[in-house]
Structure 1
Amino acid sequence: MNIEEQIQAYISSQPEPKRNDLQALHNTMLRVMPGYKLWFLDGKNSENKTVANPNIGYGLHTITYADGKTRDFYQIGLSANKTGISVYIMGIDDKTYLARTYGEKIGKASVSGYCIKFKKLQDINLEILEAAIRSGIENKHA
């Protein structure tokens, strides 16, 4: 399976209403980030053990570790979890930026240094989520 097929299989495997919410977010990401690199991480390590929730990624961000090594990763990620959906916005140096800028406006969501977590899409303001994603893409907060 190619990446797009893996993404669709992952979305299809989710129970409703999470499936519709993930599909709507995926469609939003494709519209906001046309032509950007797509990722699918199945959440398994090199020994095929599940170590994280599977996630869909968009764009390209280079992570630099403390020892100077680098690794390519996605800019924006989506993942279903037990209680809802997480949106990851990578590359934010200021760990208070997301909460300070979008936390009070986004609706019923938990906002941390690089993650916006919510139960259902209808619980949040999609325009505010999209603004946070666009800010992450443009890297205005670096």
Structure 2
Amino acid sequence: MKVQEEISGYIAAQPEPKRHEMQQLHHMVLALMPRCRLWFLDGKDEKGKIISNPNIGYGSRIITYADGKTKEFYQIGLSANTTGISIYIMGIDDKKYMAETFGKKLGKASVTGYCIKFKTLADINIDVLSEAIRLGIERKSVSH
């Protein structure tokens, strides 16, 4: 199955109004990254065990680990969770930066080192979310 089909199926499987909001966010990220690589991670490890929620990824970045090994991964992620939606902004080394920069301006959202979680788009300032996503787009490569 093609990645675009997996993404469409994942979004379509969400209950309303989450389905509509996931579609809105998908289009928003694609507008910010029109020619980006798309990813779909089903949340399972190589043994088929569920280890996370499925998620959609946008863009490409290289993670360099302490041992020198590298891995390609997405820059921006989008996932449904049990209470709402999560946006992942990868590549930010300072774990306080997102909360300090966007936390109070976002509205009713939980902001951690790289994740913005909210119940519904009505609870947040979409322009601030877009600003946070743009920041993540600008940061392509990190070291760990």
Q: TM-score by structure 1 length?
A: 0.96
**Superposed, which structure 2 residues align to 1:66-81 within 5 Å?**
66-81=66-81
Structure 1 residue ranges, 4+ long, deviating more than 2 angstroms after superposition: none
For 1:137, the aligned partner's letter is I
For 2:115, the aligned partner's letter is C
Q: Distance in 2 between matches of 1:5 and 1:64?
A: 30
**Superposed, which structure 2 residues align to 1:1-142 within 5 Å?**
1-139=1-139
CA deviations on 1:82-110 (whole Å, 9 max, x unpaired) are 11111000000111111111100000000
Tell me, which stretches of 5 or more residues in structure 1 are unaligned? none
Q: Distance in 2 between matches of 1:19 and 1:66?
A: 39
SS of the aligned residue for 1:105 comes to helix
SS of the aligned residue for 2:72 comes to strand
For 2:136, the aligned partner's letter is G
Bigger RCO (CA 8 Å, 6+ sep): 2
Q: TM-score by structure 2 length?
A: 0.94
Q: Distance in 1 between matches of 2:138 and 2:65?
A: 22
Aligned residues: 141
Q: Distance in 1 between matches of 2:68 and 2:6?
A: 32
State the Cα distance separating 1:62 from its structure 2 match: 1.1
Q: Distance in 2 between matches of 1:83 and 1:20?
A: 15
State the Cα distance separating 1:139 from its structure 2 match: 2.6
For 1:48, the aligned partner's letter is G
